[in-house]
Structures are given as structure tokens and as C-alpha cells.
């Protein structure tokens, strides 16, 4: 045997010894999440996600919010947090009100919400999907701070942009068939074509329903500590309340227009409108995952007497939606 061969064998044996001792380059050692009473204050354990497949097999209820302030109260209550980063998106698994959950941000608007909902389903064992966040109020009987839990969600900007045939008169192509809803100017709302997971054929759906059992639990919530004042003691005119039922609509627009607000209420009987819930509801429908959304009014979508109210009442609304979600988790029976 040559000296070169001897040195090569020695190098191979040394490398094998390192691997046996746990020195795999690029594979992180297991990290334990913090636990016990101080878990909520401890830094969450961070785990690098594998490039494909589930990162966690525990059956969990998934909770999404669009942006950080909406998720703040829930993050503060989470126990045994463990953070996974998948394609740049953070998912925090843990225990909330005694139940295994995974929290994440959908991102703002429809494409972000659909994309990250599907990513969530692909990488975690999600049993139910819940959205918690703020919304613009459409129903004139609802007020800022109220929490709406719609029983169905539709996309108001899934539309045909109609041809103008005379000043202020519009016509859709005959090939697009009949429409269920009245138009708003040249915009004619329509159903979206979807294919169910069982492959039974393309369907046309406008409404994607919230899960009946989850709605029943929400209807049974008796008392929730909803905030009426902010941290500077600025208070709402009316005491916030929980309203379960009715419709919600979503689209790729921040609505601050009184006329469109009236149209959305008249046409869809909507209580609220937002920029994510219908997208999440559609992805959940396709995946067969039960869905519900808790949306608290941060503004009146252009229906108020002055400037848009969102910046003033964002934190009140975000915390109210989260408080209803926490009450829902306490009432939920697996």
C-alpha cells in the first residue's frame, strides 16, 4: 500500500469519526423550546426547516394575521414557542389556551394570503384554520371595535371590467353568462372558477363558507373582555360587541370610499371587508380544512365623518379580535 493510499484512508476514517460524533455540517443540533411559567418571556427556540416536507407533525390549529400588530396579543400568550423559518416566512408553533397551535403572518392582500396559507398547509399538520385581524366596517349597524365573525366570504374584486357602450352605460360580453350581483360602474362581480381536491370538475363559486361547527362555538361565546379604550384612555362612543353571522368580502384594495361601502353592504349584505380572508377561505376549502375568521372593525371603510380611523383604532380592534379568538379556543372541544 502506498503512502498516498494510507493518508487517504486515514482522512476517510477521521471524517467518519466526526460524523459519528454529530458533526454533520449544515444540520443543526436539536433545539428544545422553552417551557414552564417563564416560557412566554423566553426567546423562542428556532429550528431550521428542511427543504421539503412537514416540519412538525403535531396536529395544530393554525392562526393567521395579516401583519404584526394583529398577532401581538396572541404571541404574548403563547407557551412553549418554537420558531420555524420556511421560505423566509416565520411560523411559531406552541400552546395557546392549552391547545397546540401554529401562528404566522399571511402578509397583506390576497396573493400573499393565499400563498402563505398553502405554505402553512404544506409544512404543518393543520386541523383547522383561524384568521384574527382588523377590517373595514360595511354594515352601518356595526361600529368601530365590534368583532364580526362572518359565516361566508367572497371576493368582490373578482370582476369583469365591462365595455362602455354609452356614457355611464356598460355591457359584459355575452360569453360571460349571467351574473348574480349588481355591478359597480364598469365592474361586474362574478364567481371564481375552482376545482375541488377530489377532482370532480370545475365549479363556479362566489362564497366560501366558514365551518358550521366553528361558527356554532363562536355563537356560544357569552362574555369577552372587549376593549373600548386605547392605552391613552381615548375611548369609543359605543361599547364593542361580538356579532356572529352575515357575510364578509375581500379584495386587493384598501377601501376608504363611502359610496363603495354602501354598494358592498347593499350588494353582498357584507358586515366587513378586508384584504385576506376570502383568499384564505378558498385555499382552506380546496384543502378540506375548516375555516373561520374573527375580524374587528378598525375603521368604517370611508363611511365616517372625517379621516380614515384605522391608525387611531388599530390596536383596539386587533386586541378585540384576538380576545374573541382566545375565548373561542377556551370553548373549543376537540
Higher local confidence (pLDDT), 328 or 49: 328
Count of domains observed in the chain? 2
Question: Does residue 186 share a domain with residue 259?
Answer: no
Question: Does residue 213 share a domain with residue 200?
Answer: no
Q: Is residue 1 part of a domain?
A: no
Q: Is residue 28 part of a domain?
A: no
| Cα 99 versus chain centre, distance | 18
Q: Is residue 128 part of a domain?
A: yes
Q: Is the pLDDT of residue 5 over 50?
A: no
Question: Does residue 163 share a domain with residue 226?
Answer: no
Instruction: State the average pLDDT over residues 49-59.
Output: 87
Question: Does residue 144 share a domain with residue 58?
Answer: yes
* 65, 71 contact by CB (below 8 A): yes
pLDDT class for 234, splitting at 50, 70, 90? confident
Q: Whole-prediction pTM value?
A: 0.85
Residue 178 sits in which domain range?
Answer: 159-205
pLDDT class for 233, splitting at 50, 70, 90? confident
Provide the CATH number for the domain around residue 315.
3.40.50.1580
Question: Does residue 325 share a domain with residue 247?
Answer: yes
Question: Does residue 258 share a domain with residue 215?
Answer: yes
Q: Is residue 5 part of a domain?
A: no
User: How far apart, in whole angstroms, are the C-alpha atoms of residue 246 and residue 150?
Assistant: 5
pLDDT of residue 37: 39
Q: 35: how many CB neighbours lie within 10 A of its CB?
A: 14
Q: Is the pLDDT of residue 117 over 90?
A: yes
Mention every residue, 6+ apart, whose C-beta is less than 8 A from residue 258.
Answer: 302, 303
| Cα 325 versus chain centre, distance | 12
Question: Does residue 49 share a domain with residue 135?
Answer: yes
Q: Is the pLDDT of residue 1 over 60?
A: no
Buried b (16+ CB within 10 A) or exposed e, 235-267: ebeeebebbbebbbbbbeebbbeeebbebbbeb
Question: Does residue 139 share a domain with residue 245?
Answer: yes
Average pLDDT in the chain: 88
Residues 251-279 have pLDDT tens digits of 999 999 999 999 999 999 999 999 999 99
Question: Does residue 255 share a domain with residue 117?
Answer: yes
State the DSSP code for 174.
Answer: G
Q: Is residue 16 part of a domain?
A: no
Question: Does residue 112 share a domain with residue 82?
Answer: yes
* 104, 44 contact by CB (below 8 A): no
Amino acid at each position: 500500500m502506498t503512502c498516498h493510499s494510507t493518508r487517504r484512508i486515514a482522512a476517510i476514517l477521521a471524517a467518519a469519526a466526526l460524523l459519528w460524533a454529530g458533526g454533520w455540517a449544515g444540520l443543526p443540533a436539536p433545539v428544545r423550546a422553552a417551557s414552564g411559567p417563564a416560557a412566554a418571556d423566553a426567546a423562542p427556540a428556532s429550528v431550521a426547516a428542511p427543504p421539503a416536507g412537514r416540519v412538525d407533525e403535531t396536529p395544530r390549529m393554525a392562526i393567521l394575521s395579516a401583519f404584526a400588530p394583529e398577532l401581538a396579543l396572541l404571541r404574548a400568550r403563547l407557551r412553549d414557542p418554537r420558531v420555524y423559518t420556511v421560505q423566509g416566512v416565520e411560523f411559531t408553533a406552541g400552546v395557546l389556551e392549552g391547545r397546540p397551535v401554529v401562528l404566522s403572518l399571511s402578509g397583506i392582500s390576497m396573493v400573499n394570503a393565499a400563498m402563505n396559507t398553502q405554505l402553512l398547509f404544506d409544512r404543518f399538520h393543520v386541523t383547522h384554520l383561524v384568521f384574527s385581524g382588523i377590517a373595514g366596517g360595511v354594515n352601518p349597524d356595526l361600529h368601530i371595535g365590534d368583532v364580526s365573525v362572518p359565516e361566508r366570504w367572497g371576493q368582490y374584486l373578482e370582476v369583469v371590467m365591462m365595455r362602455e357602450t354609452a356614457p355611464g352605460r356598460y355591457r359584459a360580453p355575452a360569453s360571460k353568462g349571467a351574473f348574480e350581483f349588481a355591478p359597480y360602474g364598469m365592474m361586474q362581480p362574478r364567481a371564481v372558477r375552482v376545482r375541488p381536491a377530489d377532482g370532480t370538475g370545475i365549479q363556479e363559486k362566489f362564497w366560501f363558507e366558514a365551518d358550521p361547527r366553528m361558527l356554532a362555538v363562536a355563537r356560544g361565546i357569552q362574555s369577552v373582555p372587549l376593549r373600548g379604550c386605547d392605552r391613552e384612555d381615548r375611548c369609543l362612543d359605543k361599547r364593542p360587541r361580538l356579532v356572529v353571522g352575515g357575510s364578509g368580502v375581500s379584495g386587493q384594495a384598501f377601501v376608504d370610499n363611502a359610496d363603495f361601502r354602501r354598494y358592498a353592504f347593499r350588494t353582498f349584505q357584507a358586515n366587513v371587508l378586508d384584504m385576506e380572508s376570502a383568499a384564505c377561505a378558498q385555499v382552506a376549502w380546496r384543502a378540506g380544512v375548516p375555516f373561520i375568521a374573527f375580524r374587528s372593525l378598525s375603521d368604517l371603510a370611508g363611511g365616517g365623518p372625517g379621516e380614515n380611523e384605522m391608525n387611531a383604532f388599530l390596536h383596539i380592534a386587533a386586541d378585540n379580535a384576538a380576545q374573541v379568538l382566545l375565548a373561542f379556543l377556551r370553548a373549543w372541544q376537540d
